């Protein structure tokens, strides 16, 4: 896992409004890199899913955003963590349609499909999900 | 209460009997004068006068009946009820919080001035101040608290009505309505939207309902879930639902999320949705220019 650099953007997640803030900041980073609307939307949606989960299941948490682009690749890394009760059965939680809250149960699995890398760690001390959007600088992906 | 405080209390009781009308006049005049030009305009002077009169009566009764240090305003006290009602009215009429506090404090000043005319001994005077502090400061707290509670409630009500305002259902043709969704759809709003929509559908017997999501920034699973519930409920009332305004990115994202909106007609643009709706109603759009030419 890459070191947590100091230039991470940290957004406390407590309520709906913070979800919007996190989404907005991520969009700004993505558009600043020249990523198109489609990628911005993916990123915003994944963040929406993870931060909403933090609010709903853990009473809030924190969202960190990094621009880790290098010479060859645009790379935006998002980490959403909370200190909630954790997830009992990750395999089950990752399954499409599984929800303990009467939701669609497609948040975690959907975020995984939307992004290029997905990691999750969970214990009774909390949950941490890290997702990354990666695009080669060579390609063109404007929409 | 010590002897000096008891004496002061008795003196106030007497003052409220013998100087009642002059105290009342000075108090009301001063209050009105101090807020000249501010917003007591919609607060009729007669009303202030009547309320102040009641206040004097209640205060008189309070001081007369074994008034002591242990007295605390209780919501059942008539004087507390009077002030509660007064601050609610003032808060609703948009007066400043300072005005309601000033109301009690100016009364305190006037009463003390009257007291000084009778008794100038410093020890007696400071006992008098202590007695008034005891009763009036506590009462002014009641006023401020109630004032703020009322304000908060008003603000909550206003944001609730904003909720309603922001989910208008528009009748665009006989038996055809449009629900333009704009902004963030959380659970509270989704419930309100569904409620409004179902009422409108029933009211105008809508056969076609167009739900336009052009203004919805992110279609995540929570929003999609709300949307599906709203649409399903509408369909249950027998209306044909057409979803419009989904962006290509939104559609892609939904597919990636693995969410399907089920069995509904979707059209890219609102315009296409309206033509579709009219067609479903058996109406045809004719280009008037071409026909005339
Ligand atoms: N941060 C979290 N803390 C605890 N449990 C979680 C967290 N995120 C997800 N879960 C669990 O995983 C399940 C699946 O989550 P998700 O795929 O987002 O679907 P949904 O939120 O619709 O239920 C949730 O119902 C919940 O039980
Ligand atoms: Mg979820």
- Per-residue pLDDT, A112: 97
CA separation for the pair A62, A14 (Å, rounded): 8
Is residue B259 within 8 angstroms of chain A, CB to CB? yes
Q: Is the pLDDT of residue B17 over 80?
A: yes
Asked if A18 is an interface residue toward chain B (Cβ–Cβ < 8 A), one would say no
Judge: B258–A110 Cβ closer than 8 Å, yes or no. yes
- What pTM was estimated for this model as a whole? 0.65
A48 CB within 6 A, ligand 1: no
Q: What is the mean pLDDT of chain A?
A: 92
In chain B, which residue's Cα lies nearest the Cα of A38? B249
Is A113–B259 a contact, with Cβ atoms under 8 angstroms apart? no
Q: Is A101 in the pocket of ligand 1 (CB under 6 A)?
A: yes
Taking residue A48's Cβ as centre, other Cβ atoms within 10 Å add up to: 24
Beta-carbon separation of B218 and A45 below 8 A: yes
Q: Which residue ranges form the domains of chain A, and what is each CATH number? A: 9-136 (3.30.565.10)
Show the tokens assigned to A9.
């953007």
Q: Is A101 on the interface with B (CB under 8 A)?
A: no
Whole-number Cα distances in Å, A76 to A36, A81, B121, B266: 14, 16, 79, 33
Q: Read off the tokens for B228.
A: 């599906």
Tell whether ligand 1 has an atom less than 6 A from the beta carbon of residue A105.
Answer: yes
Decide if A99 touches B, using CB distance below 8 A.
no
Atom of ligand 1 nearest to the CA of A53: 8
Q: Among A20, A104, A143, whose Cβ lies nearest the Cβ of B225? A: A104
Residue nearest to atom 5 of ligand 1 (CA): A87
| Average pLDDT over every residue of A54-79 | 96
Predicted local distance difference test score (pLDDT) of residue B188: 80
Distance CA B264, CA A120 (A): 35
Q: Is the pLDDT of residue A94 over 60?
A: yes
Which of chain B's residues have a Cβ under 8 Å away from the Cβ of A37? 247, 249
DSSP string of A33-67, one letter each residue: TT--HHHHHHHHHHHHHHHHHHHHHHS-EEEEEEE
Contact A37 B249 (CB under 8 A): yes
Angle among Cα A120, A122, A123 to the nearest 5 degrees reads 165
Please name the residue ranges forming H helices in chain A: 16-32, 37-58, 90-93, 107-114
Rounded mean pLDDT, B107-136: 90
Q: Tell me which of B184, B186, B220 to substitute to probe the interface with A (most A C-beta atoms closer than 10 Å).
A: B220
* DSSP tag of B135: I
Q: How far apart are the first and last CA of chain A?
A: 31
- Cα distances from B222 to residues A104, A129, B225, B254, in angstroms, run 7, 18, 5, 11
How far, in Å, is the centroid of ligand 1 from the Cα of A57?
A: 7
The minimum CA-CA distance between A6 and chain B, rounded to whole Å, is 29
Element (H, E) at B52: helix B45-64
Please state the ipTM of this predicted complex.
0.88
Distance from CA of A98 to the nearest CA of B (A): 12
Task: Give the chain A residue whose CA is nearest to the CA of B224.
Answer: A104
* pLDDT value, residue B42: 66
Q: What is the mean pLDDT of residues B22-33?
A: 90
Domains along chain B with CATH numbers: 3-160 (1.10.490.10), 170-292 (3.30.750.24)
Query: Tens digits of per-residue pLDDT, B247-278?
Result: 999 999 999 999 988 788 999 999 999 999 99
Beta-carbon contacts of A47 under 8 Å, excluding residues fewer than 6 positions away, are A19, A22, A23, A26, A63, A78, A80
Q: Which of A6-10, A68-72, A103-107, B33-37 has the lowest mean pLDDT?
A: B33-37
With both helix axes pointing from N to C terminus, report the angle between B78-92 and B138-165 in degrees, rounded to the nearest 10.
40
Residues 183-242 of B with CB under 8 A from A: 184, 186, 217-222, 224-225
Q: What local confidence, expressed as pLDDT, does residue B293 receive?
A: 47
Backbone torsions φ then ψ of A6, nearest 5 degrees: -75, -15
Q: How many whole angstroms separate alpha carbon B140 and alpha carbon B102?
A: 9
**CA A10 to CA B254: how far, in whole Å?**
27
The per-residue b/e assignment along A60-82, b for 16 or more CB within 10 angstroms, e otherwise, is bbbbbbbbeeeeeebbbbbbbbb
Sign of the dihedral defined by the CA atoms of residues A77, A83, A84, A86, in that order: positive
- State both tokens at B53: 């009169």
Residue A122 pLDDT exceeds 70: yes
Cα separations in angstroms, B246 against A109, B180, B196, B212, B242: 22, 12, 22, 8, 11
Q: Are A50 and A129 in contact (CB under 8 A)?
A: yes
**Between B42 and B116, whose confidence is greater?**
B116
Give B256's contacts in chain A (Cβ within 8 Å). 42, 110, 113-114
Which ligand 1 atom is at minimum distance from the Cα of A110? 17
The closest ligand to the CA of A59 turns out to be 1
Return all residues near B156 (Cβ < 8 A) that are at least 6 apart: none
In angstroms, rounded to a whole number, what is the distance separating the alpha carbons of residues B6 and A134?
82
């Amino acid at each position: 896992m890459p070191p947590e650099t100091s230039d991470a953007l940290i957004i406390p997640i407590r309520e709906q409004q913070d979800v919007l803030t996190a989404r907005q900041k991520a969009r700004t980073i993505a558009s600043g890199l020249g990523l198109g609307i489609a990628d911005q939307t993916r990123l915003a949606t994944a963040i929406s899913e993870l931060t909403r989960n933090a609010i709903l299941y853990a009473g809030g948490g924190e969202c960190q955003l990094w621009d880790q682009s290098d010479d060859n690749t645009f790379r935006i890394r998002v980490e959403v963590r909370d200190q909630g009760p954790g997830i009992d059965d990750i395999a089950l939680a990752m399954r499409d349609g599984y929800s303990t809250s009467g939701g669609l149960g497609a948040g975690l699995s959907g975020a995984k499909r939307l992004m290029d890398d997905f990691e999750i760690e969970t214990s009774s001390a909390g949950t941490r999900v890290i997702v990354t959007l990666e695009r080669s600088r060579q390609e063109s992906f404007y929409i | 209460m010590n002897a000096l405080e008891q004496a002061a209390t008795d003196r106030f009781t007497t003052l409220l009997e013998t100087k009642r009308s002059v105290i009342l006049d000075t108090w009301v005049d001063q209050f009105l004068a101090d807020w000249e030009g501010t917003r007591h305009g919609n607060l009729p002077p007669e009303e202030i006068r009547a309320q102040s009169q009641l206040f004097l009566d209640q205060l008189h009764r309070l001081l007369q009946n074994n008034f002591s240090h242990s007295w605390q305003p209780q919501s059942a006290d008539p004087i507390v009820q009077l002030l509660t009602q007064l601050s609610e009215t003032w808060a609703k009429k948009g007066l400043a919080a300072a005005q309601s506090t000033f109301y009690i404090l100016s009364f305190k000043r006037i009463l003390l001035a009257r007291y000084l005319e009778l008794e100038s001994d410093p020890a007696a005077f400071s006992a008098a101040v202590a007695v008034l502090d005891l009763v009036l400061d506590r009462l002014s707290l009641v006023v401020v608290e109630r004032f703020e509670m009322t304000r908060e409630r008003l603000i909550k009500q206003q944001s609730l009505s904003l909720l309603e305002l922001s989910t208008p259902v528009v009748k665009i043709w006989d038996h055809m309505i449009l629900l333009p969704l704009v902004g963030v759809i959380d659970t509270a709003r989704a419930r309100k939207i569904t409620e409004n929509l179902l009422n409108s559908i029933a009211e105008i017997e809508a056969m076609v309902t167009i739900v336009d999501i052009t203004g919805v920034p992110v279609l995540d699973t929570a929003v999609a879930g709300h949307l599906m519930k709203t649409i399903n409920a509408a369909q249950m009332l027998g209306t044909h639902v057409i979803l419009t305004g989904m962006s290509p990115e939104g559609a892609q994202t939904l597919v990636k999320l693995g969410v399907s909106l089920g069995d509904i007609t979707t059209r890219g643009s609102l315009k296409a949705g309206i033509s579709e709706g009219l067609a479903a109603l058996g109406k045809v759009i004719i280009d008037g220019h071409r026909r005339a030419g």
